Amino acid sequence: MLVSLGIRDVVLIEALDLEPGPGLTALTGETGAGKSIVLDALGLATGARADSGLVRRGATQAGVIAAFALPSSHAAWALLAGRGLDADPSEDLVLRRTVSADGRSRAFANDQAISAGVLRELGALLLEVHGQHDAVGLLDPRTHRALLDSYAGCAQPLAACRLAWSTWREAEARSAELRSLSERRAADAEDAGLRLAELDRLDAKPGEEDALADARGLLGAAEKIVADVASARDAFGGPKLANSLSQALRALERARDRAVQAGGAAGNAAVDKLSEAVAAGERTLLEAQETLAALDAAARAFVFEPARLEKTEERLFALRASARKLGVTVEDLPAERLRFAKLLRAFETADHALAEAGAAAVAAEAGYDTAAATLREARKAAAARLSKAVEAELKPLKLEKARFQVAVDALPDGRAGPEGADRVAFEIATNPGAPFGPLGDIASGGELARLALALKVALATRGGADAAGPTMIFDEVDQGVGGAVADAVGSRLKRLAATGQVLVVTHSPQVAARADAHWRVAKTLRGGKTTTSIATLDALTREEEIARMLAGAQITDAARAAARALIAS
Assign residue 278 a region (left: φ > 0; alpha: ψ between -120 and 50; beta: otherwise): alpha
* pLDDT band with cut points at 50, 70 and 90 for residue 222: low
**Contact between residue 504 and residue 492 where contact means Cβ atoms under 8 Å apart:** no
Higher pLDDT, 195 or 513: 513
Residue 280 vs residue 217, higher pLDDT: 280
**Regarding predicted confidence, which is higher, 203 or 417?**
417
Buried b / exposed e along 84-94 (16+ C-beta atoms within 10 A): eeebebeebbb
Least confident of 142-146, 157-161, 224-228, 331-335: 224-228
Q: Is the pLDDT of residue 1 over 80?
A: yes
pLDDT band at 465; cut points 50, 70, 90 = very low
- Are residues 53 and 105 in contact, defined by beta-carbon separation less than 8 angstroms? no
pLDDT at res. 363? 95
Distances (CA, A) of 374 to 154, 159, 179, 370: 10, 12, 31, 6
Give me the pLDDT at residue 178, please.
80
> In this prediction, what percent of the chain has a pLDDT beyond 90?
32
For residues 219 and 305, what is the distance between their CA atoms, to the nearest angstrom? 8
Q: In angstroms, rounded to a whole number, what is the distance separating the alpha carbons of residues 547 and 560?
A: 5
pLDDT on residue 400? 83
DSSP sequence for 459-520? HHHTT---TTS-EEEEESTTTT--HHHHHHHHHHHHHHHTTSEEEEE-S-HHHHTT-SEEEE
pLDDT at 445: 62
In the prediction, which pLDDT does 466 show? 45
* Phi-psi map region of 525: left, alpha, beta (phi>0 left; psi -120 to 50 alpha): beta
Q: Each residue of 237-292: pLDDT tens digit?
A: 666 777 777 777 787 778 777 777 776 565 677 777 877 887 887 888 788 778 87
Average pLDDT of span 548-561: 86
End-to-end CA distance of the chain: 27
The pLDDT, as a whole number, for residue 70 is: 92
Banded pLDDT at 375 (limits 50, 70, 90): very high
The b/e string for 7-27 (b: 16+ C-beta within 10 A; e otherwise) is bbbbbbbbebebebebebbbb
- Identify which of 39, 70, 66 has the alpha carbon closest to the alpha carbon of residue 54: 39
DSSP state of 2: E
Q: What is the pLDDT of residues 14-29, one digit of tens each?
A: 999 999 999 999 999 8
Q: What pLDDT is stored for residue 340 in this prediction? A: 81
pTM above 0.85, yes or no: no
pLDDT of residue 547: 92
Residue spans of the domains in the chain: they are: 187-340
Give the lowest-confidence range in 174-178, 220-224, 239-243.
220-224
Complete DSSP assignment for 33-74? SSHHHHHHHHHHHTTPPP-GGGBPTT-SEEEEEEEE---TT-
Q: What is the pLDDT of residues 140-165, one digit of tens each?
A: 788 899 889 988 888 899 999 999 99
Q: Which of 17-21, 208-212, 349-353, 565-569 has the lowest mean pLDDT?
A: 349-353
- Classified as helix, coil or strand, 210 is helix
DSSP per residue, 404-444: EEEEEEEPPTT--BTTBSEEEEEEEE-STTPPPEEHHHHS-
Over residues 158-186, mean pLDDT:
86
Asked if the model's pLDDT at residue 226 lies above 50, the reply is: yes
What's the confidence (pLDDT) of residue 467? 41
With CA atoms as reference, report the closest residue to 358 among 171, 164, 184, 181.
171
Mean local confidence (pLDDT), 86-100: 92
Where is mean pLDDT largest: 276-285, 325-334, 455-464? Answer: 325-334
The pLDDT, as a whole number, for residue 258 is: 76
